[in-house]
Amino acid sequence: MGVMVGMLVGVLVGVFVWVFVGVLVGVFVGVSVGVFVGVSVGVFVGVSVGVFVGVSVGVGVQAETTTTPPVLAFTVMPVSVPEPSTRSVKLQLLVWQPGAVSLMMPPQISV
* CB atoms near residue 49 (< 10 Å): 10
- In whole angstroms, give the CA distance from residue 43 to residue 36: 11
pTM of the model: 0.40
Taking only the tens place, the pLDDT of each residue in 37-92 is 999 999 999 999 988 888 887 776 665 565 666 666 666 666 666 666 665 666 55
CB 93 within 8 A of CB 103: yes
